[in-house]
Amino acid sequence: MLDIKFIRENPEAVKENIKKKFQDAKLPLVDQVIDLDARRRAAIAEADQLRSNRNALSKQIGMLMGQAKKDPSKLAEAEAVKQQVKEQADRLAELEKLEAELDEQLHRDMLLIPQMIDPSVPIGRDDSENVEVQRFGECKVPDFPIPYHVDIMESFDGIDLDAAGRVSGSGFYYLLGDIARLHEAVLAYGRDFMINKGFTYVIPPFMIHGNVVEGVMSQTDMDGMMYKIEGEDLYLIGTSEHSMIGRFIDQILPAEKLPQTLTSYSPCFRKEKGAHGIEERGIYRIHQFEKQEMIVVCRPEESKDWYEKLWKMSVELFRSLDIPVRQLECCSGDLADLKVKSCDIEAWSPRQQKFFEVCSCSNLGDAQARRLRIRYRDENGRMQLCHTLNNTCVAPPRMLIAFLENNLQADGTVKIPQVLQPYMGGTALLVPKK
């Protein structure tokens, strides 16, 4: 959400930003919110004047009533002023109702206007126009065929999709044995990796109120992702970013406590609507998964540096697991409305001989902080909005696809990189059962 003052003073810049995101249908919103804001401010000004008049008129009535004891003619004057007070009270009630209606409409429209994107963001319509920035590690294609990831897991008796389908439907899974252990090992390694970077480990609530949902994401993203608990003001989180940022709602953070650097574990629940190709089935695009996340709440002048630090941490982590990756800069049309700048870290798939997304790093500027009123006082004592950032640390089971494909051997075994072996009880090699 943008500052209404910024929109009033820079309407053409806001419209140009909307055009860069290829959301021309939203262009009328700019003039609409400016008009709503003008009407709202006019209503507030008139109401304030009436309240001031009411105080003066009340004093006048008291004076006239006092004078009426000696001069009965003053009683008629007092009654006339009382009628004036009543008429102004009726008008004030109308204005207060109008102000509430304008407030609500203005808020709804303001939520739809996208955040101003960073000047460095490449301009493009959708994810097909995202820009590769750099690669890390050698993208090898082995001289033996790599099975589909579900087939690799089944060779270890490590997955049961049929049972999950009977119990929960499509988009769910059972992980078993070595594969389940590998899943948890990757999460534990990601947790300790971030703790060693100085981040505080957090386990947040897995359900949040609707006002928090509205504060952390756009309505479009909410409708496409979130599961609502029937009959309650609660939603299952799609990522721990939601409840982690929500933790600071209506808070004024001590300046000396910034930046807040946090790493959170949670299950994640997503609708994942739409049909997907074969490579996005299995455990690639699912309704439930687990994730270790990175969260930063900082001063505005620090957010660009933190953005660079966060995505580089993802690269370092995946390279430590012998997985080649690349950084892909998200173009304007692929940015969610609250994002200032975003990039994906994509892992190499030797099976598909292409990259696929395993991490998403985003700088949201003050968008979430403005919606949730997350503030701090600067060195001059002035109230300022914080900036918020988030990035995936590891999100199995999707990242297990990259791990298994890149560490698979010709005989069907899977090597365990040295950094992960302590989390696997010292195991250096997984041997298939069939």
Beta bridge partners of residue 326, listed in sequence order: 135, 346
356-393: pLDDT as tens digits:
999 999 999 999 999 999 999 998 899 999 999 999 99
Question: In the prediction, which pLDDT does 278 show?
Answer: 46
Q: Report pLDDT for 151.
A: 95
Domains of the chain, each with CATH number or no CATH: 4-112 (1.10.287.40), 127-430 (3.30.930.10)
The pLDDT of residue 61 is 54
pLDDT of res. 276: 47
Give the separation between CA 27 and CA 14, rounded to whole angstroms. 9
CA distance 372 to 260: 16
Q: Which residue is listed with tokens 């589909």? A: 148
pLDDT at position 147 is 94
**CA torsion angle for 389, 401, 175, 156 (degrees, to 10)?**
-150
Q: Check residue 36 and give its pLDDT.
A: 96
Burial profile 313-343: b = 16 or more Cβ within 10 angstroms, e = fewer? bbbebbeebbbbbbbbbbbbbbbbbbbbbbb
Q: Compute the Cα dihedral for 318, 321, 326, 332 and give only its sign.
A: negative
Q: Which residues have C-beta within 8 Å of that of residue 281, sequence separation ≥ 6?
A: none
Give, in degrees to the nearest 5, the angle at Cα 335 between 329 and 336: 145
Exposed, middle or buried by CB within 10 Å (0-12, 13-18, 19+), for 258?
A: middle
Per-residue pLDDT of the chain (434 residues; tens, 9 = 90+): 899 999 999 999 999 999 999 999 999 999 999 999 999 999 999 888 877 776 666 555 556 555 655 456 566 565 565 666 667 778 888 888 999 999 999 999 999 999 999 999 999 999 999 999 999 999 999 999 999 999 999 999 999 999 999 999 988 999 999 999 999 999 999 999 999 999 999 999 999 999 999 999 987 777 778 999 999 999 999 999 999 999 999 999 999 999 999 999 999 999 875 444 544 567 888 899 999 999 999 999 999 999 999 999 999 999 999 999 999 999 999 999 999 999 999 999 999 999 999 999 999 999 999 999 999 999 889 999 999 999 999 998 889 999 999 999 999 999 999 999 999 999 999 999 97
Give the contacts of 35 (CB within 8 A, at least 6 positions apart). none
Q: What is the pLDDT of residue 202?
A: 98
Residue 370 token pair: 């403005």
User: What's the number of CA atoms in the CB half-sphere (13 Å) around residue 258?
Assistant: 26
Secondary-structure percent of the chain, ordered helix, strand, coil, rounded to 5: 50, 20, 30
Could you tell me which of 335, 332, 325 has the C-alpha nearest to residue 359?
Answer: 325
List residues bridging with 138 in a β-sheet.
none
Average pLDDT over all residues of the chain? 91
Give the model's pLDDT for residue 64: 52
Alpha-carbon distance 157 to 155, whole Å?
6
pLDDT, residue 182, reads: 97
CA distance 52 to 83: 16
Contacts with 425 (C-beta within 8 Å, 6 or more apart), sequence order:
none
Q: Which two tokens stand for residue 306?
A: 């933190």
Q: What is the pLDDT at residue 398? A: 86
Cβ pair 149, 401 in contact under 8 A: yes
Q: How far is it, in rounded angstroms, from Cα 5 to Cα 174?
A: 52
